Amino acid sequence: MAGRRGAWYVPCLASLETIQELCRKENLTCKSLGITNRNLKSYEVEYLCDYKVEEGTEYFLVKWKGWPESSNTWVPLKNLKCPLLLQYFHSDKNEYLSQLKRGKAVILKNHIKALNPVVAQYIVKKAKQRIALQRWKEELNRKKNHKGMILVENTVDLEGPPLDFYYINEYKPAPGINVMNGITTGCECSDCPAEKCCPEEAGFFLAYNKQKQLKIQPGLPIYECNSYCRCGPECPNRIVQKGTPYSLCIFRTNNGRGWGVKTLQKIKTKRFVMEYVGEVITNEEAERRGQLYDNQGNTYLFDLDYDSDEYTVDAARYGNVSHFVNHSCDPNLQVFNVFIDNLDLRLPRIALFSTRTIKAGEELTFDYQMKGM
């Protein structure tokens, strides 16, 4: 049951504020509620909610970390020691006012000695969003098992983390589907590549050169050394299985395409970037889900049709960073089928490789109609 914990929901019988108050009364810490040893008996600023000037003194309304909003208090600016939160406050205020000037928002005339309530509401929403995205980023980096870091960024709107998405690192097979076919043999090479190495045993060429770049054409499969091979982890034929080597950022696009993914590092051409993972389901189940997704206007279904069309990967609810990669008719990523510890031709792993040099900060895309073949 532990593996499916993320799919369970328990209705709350008490509000967040009530639970926080109970924890404090019982002298209990709770990291998920923001109650730590640091603020259990003291006050730590979580974010700033409002602003006013009284008798020439500037005040900010403070939300205290781990305390309910009913405990918010006005604090003189001179007593605040949180320069970053002050920076966020003014930045969010100016952002909203600039939206007003562009005609994207309508508010009443701003007062001199008190912040307009509409602006204050926006600032609170941005603060809560920033906290939620930070927690999501931390969760993603706890769960990922690869070298590259995952960042999250939204400078476009108030959208927070997706509510029904669970990060996984590998295929999540539906009941009755075995993504591990019990391979018990591997190559005897001590210095791959060599004769009778895994690709050659499968009737294909080694996919990588000494610089770890792809050297085969699209449509050809990749056979990497597996867990039974004699070679060690530094074998040049172990690339996809090591996971994403680059730091990537899930970011909110400014052209209406929702979330996207950009690289934070330069990626050279023909390099492995990421795997496409999700639930492995039957083609029949994919047809059923596909009708539902079509009605919603999006889909994350990827047919595993290298050898047959029995199975499909659905990354709608379970997936990794690839869940957020957008479509392009001129993509910078190419799909390849990969076989490592499972040689079942019906169940290849899906790897995305760069088609050209990709600059740091550039969005990553692939053609949704593209197949590894």
Contact 25, 71 (CB under 8 A): no
* CB 354, CB 371: distance < 8 Å: no
Ligand-binding annotation for 12, yes or no, is no
Query: What end-to-end distance do the CA atoms of the chain give, in Å?
Result: 36
- Reduced to 3 states (helix: H, G, I; strand: E, B; else coil), residue 250 is strand
Burial label, 79 (beta-carbon count in 10 A; 0-12, 13-18, 19+): exposed
Q: Could you say which of 223, 276, 300, 306 is catalytic? A: 276
Three-class secondary structure of residue 261 per DSSP: strand
Q: How far apart are CA 304 and CA 295, in angstroms?
A: 23
Q: Is 51 a catalytic residue?
A: no
Between CA 224 and CA 166 the distance in angstroms is 28
Phi first, then psi: what are they for 366, rounded to 5°?
Answer: -145, 160
User: CA 142 to CA 322: how far, in whole Å?
Assistant: 17
Task: State how far the Cα of 270 lies from the Cα of 357, in Å rounded to an integer.
Answer: 8
Catalytic residue among 88, 166, 293, 368: 368
For residue 14, give the 3-state DSSP assignment: coil
CB distance 172 to 312 below 8 Å:
no
Kindly report the three-state secondary structure assignment for every residue of 43-80. Answer: CCEEEEEEEEEECCEEEEEEEECCCCHHHCEEEEHHHC
Q: What distance lies between CA 19 and its chain's CA centroid? A: 29
- Check the annotation: does 192 bind a ligand: yes
Q: Is 197 annotated as a binding residue?
A: yes
Stated as kind and residue range, the H or E segment containing 199 is helix 198-201
198 is in an annotated binding site: yes
Please name the helix (run of DSSP H) or strand (run of DSSP E) that holds residue 90, with its range, or none.
helix 83-101
Q: Is 329 annotated as a binding residue?
A: yes
Here the tokens at position 148 are: 């590259």
Closest CA to 168 of 352, 287, 5: 5
Tell me, yes or no, if 43 is annotated catalytic: no
- In terms of Cβ atoms closer than 10 Å to its own Cβ (0-12, 13-18, 19+), residue 63 is buried
Active site positions, annotated: 276, 368
Q: Which residues are documented as binding site?
A: 187, 189, 192, 197-198, 225, 229, 231, 235, 329
Q: From the annotation, which residues make up the binding site for Zn(2+)?
A: 187, 189, 192, 197-198, 225, 229, 231, 235, 329
